Structure 1
Amino acid sequence: VTLDGQPLDGAAVTFQPTGGGNPGPGSYGRTDADGRFSLKMVTDDSPGALPGKHMVTISTSGDSTETDDSGRLLSERVPSPYNDLGVETNVPEGGTDAANFDLQTAGS
């Protein structure tokens, strides 16, 4: 995950399966200093995500303790729709290590 071309450290990444009925459990992860993440199932922490279409949200709010130079807590850095509505992506059978999200803020 990058934001304006830079790795986004500490962002929460959630994958929620879409579809009719009960599409199954979602997955979650957190980005590292390089913007990389690994997903775990919310039900049992097993690795990965269910195959199929997902709505993906990426957020830096929540348990963030990052502050600016004056010591104020930073607010959400990830722009909409990534941090609220989500964006659709497809997880292929067998998974992937190429789920890249290149986020841009307004004016970038």
Structure 2
Amino acid sequence: MHRVRNAKLQRWIAVWGILGLSVLYSGCSKPGVDYAPVSGRITIDGAAIEGARIVLVPDQQVAEGAQPVASGTTDADGRFVLKTLTPEKELVDGAVVGPNRATVATQIVELNDRGAERVIRKEMLGPEYTNGGKLSVDVPAAGLDALELNLQGK
């Protein structure tokens, strides 16, 4: 059986997930962590991209231990809806209200039954998008329902 994954971002999310386990032993969210719905569209050089992964992480620490991580995957029209894994291990719609660092990656890797990887689609974006630093998203309390990320390919 084959599964399609965006390996780099999924590994990154896994690291955050492992860090999130520490929340079970170290405490709860700080009071006042608010989440708001976020959806939008990603294009690369003007074209919609299917299967791109977007991840938002708050700029500032908003919880004890692991931080909430919002993520989503684009459909054929480049549209996405974010969901957040909270420090309490709940899945909620949207992202943390306030400034967030964003990353977007497009590489798709297929894994076979033995775990060997085969690149299905090479990364179309440079490290300024995939490693963070270039993109930031300020999530208002009312949320974002039309976030447009018009990115430039490599």
Q: Give TM class, smaller chain.
A: 0.7 to 0.9
1:4 corresponds in structure 2 to: 45
Q: Quick check: which has more Rg, 1 or 2? A: 2
2:109 corresponds in structure 1 to: 64
What CA deviation, in whole Å up to 9, does each residue of 1:56-94 have, x standing for no partner?
Answer: 000112x534xxxxx963321122311112411100012
Code of the residue aligned with 1:84 in structure 2: it is N
1:68 corresponds in structure 2 to: none
Greater share of helix residues, 1 or 2?
2
Any stretches of 5+ residues in structure 2 without a counterpart? Answer: 1-41, 111-117
2:71 corresponds in structure 1 to: 28
Scaled by the length of structure 2, the TM-score of the pair is: 0.58
> Superposition RMSD on alpha carbons, in Å?
2.2
User: Contact conserved, 2:56 with 2:95, CA < 8 A, in 1?
Assistant: yes
* In 2, Cα distance between equivalents of 1:55 and 1:72: 27
* In 2, Cα distance between equivalents of 1:42 and 1:78: 25
User: Contact conserved, 2:126 with 2:153, CA < 8 A, in 1?
Assistant: yes
2:124 corresponds in structure 1 to: 77
1:40 corresponds in structure 2 to: 83
Scaled by the length of structure 1, the TM-score of the pair is: 0.80
1:51 maps onto 2:66 in alignment: no
> May I ask how many residue pairs the two structures share in their alignment?
100
Code of the residue aligned with 1:46 in structure 2: it is V
Code of the residue aligned with 1:94 in structure 2: it is A
Identity over the aligned pairs, expressed in percent? 33
1:14 maps onto 2:55 in alignment: yes
Change (3 A) 1:47 1:21: closer
* In 1, Cα distance between equivalents of 2:96 and 2:59: 10
